[in-house]
């Protein structure tokens, strides 16, 4: 969208009556960029209510423009969310295809799952794409292998701007 501001009445300026004498004096100066409109030898006096329609038209135009800006902003935000979700899905799809094998009895954590924060589990069995993990007692869960990290192996995230 390209916005261009244009006046409703180009080349016409309304001024308050108390400024008329000053404006007339300036209009007489050489090179003045404006003149005062006269009718029957005098500047017409226009009451405030006579320009109310113009002001209302301008106000409605401002509302319509703001509605368009909001719609464009919402559409841009929707597109950005959709792009992010597509990239997240692609990342997860790639991670799901990753195969990891764990020896039965190996201690592991699942840092990607907040519900299991701090919980250390033991591998019961794994098939490369999933692992059956016992977190103590009867709590045994099947977890995607890409989420599982052996205890003592820290997941390093490269620093912003650092080479991976």
How confident is the model over 134-154, as pLDDT tens digits?
A: 998 888 999 988 889 998 875
Tokens matching residue 148: 């599982």
Distance separating alpha carbons of residues 137 and 26, to the nearest angstrom: 93
- In the prediction, which pLDDT does 155 show? 54
| Predicted TM-score of the model (pTM) | 0.41
Distance separating alpha carbons of residues 144 and 127, to the nearest angstrom: 10
**Below-50 pLDDT ranges, the chain:** 156-164
Distance separating alpha carbons of residues 90 and 80, to the nearest angstrom: 15
Residue 137, Ramachandran bin (φ over 0: left; ψ between -120 and 50: alpha; else beta): left
- In the prediction, which pLDDT does 106 show? 92
Tokens matching residue 71: 């719609």
What does DSSP assign to residue 164? Answer: -
- In the prediction, which pLDDT does 114 show? 80
- In the prediction, which pLDDT does 157 show? 45
Distance separating alpha carbons of residues 89 and 91, to the nearest angstrom: 5
């Amino acid at each position: 969208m390209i916005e261009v501001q244009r006046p409703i009445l180009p080349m016409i300026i309304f001024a308050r009556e108390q400024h008329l004498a000053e404006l007339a004096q300036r209009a007489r100066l050489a090179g003045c960029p404006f003149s005062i409109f006269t009718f029957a030898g005098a500047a017409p006096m226009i009451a405030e209510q006579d320009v109310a329609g113009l002001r209302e038209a301008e106000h409605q135009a401002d509302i319509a423009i703001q509605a368009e800006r909001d719609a464009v902003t919402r559409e841009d935000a929707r597109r950005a969310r959709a792009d992010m979700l597509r990239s997240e899905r692609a990342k997860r799809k790639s991670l799901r295809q990753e195969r990891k094998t764990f020896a039965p009895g190996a201690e592991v954590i699942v840092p990607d799952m907040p519900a299991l924060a701090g919980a250390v589990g033991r591998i019961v069995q794994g098939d490369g794409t999933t692992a059956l993990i016992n977190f103590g007692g009867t709590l045994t869960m099947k977890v995607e292998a890409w989420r599982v990290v052996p205890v003592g192996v820290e997941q390093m995230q490269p620093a912003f701007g650092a080479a991976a």
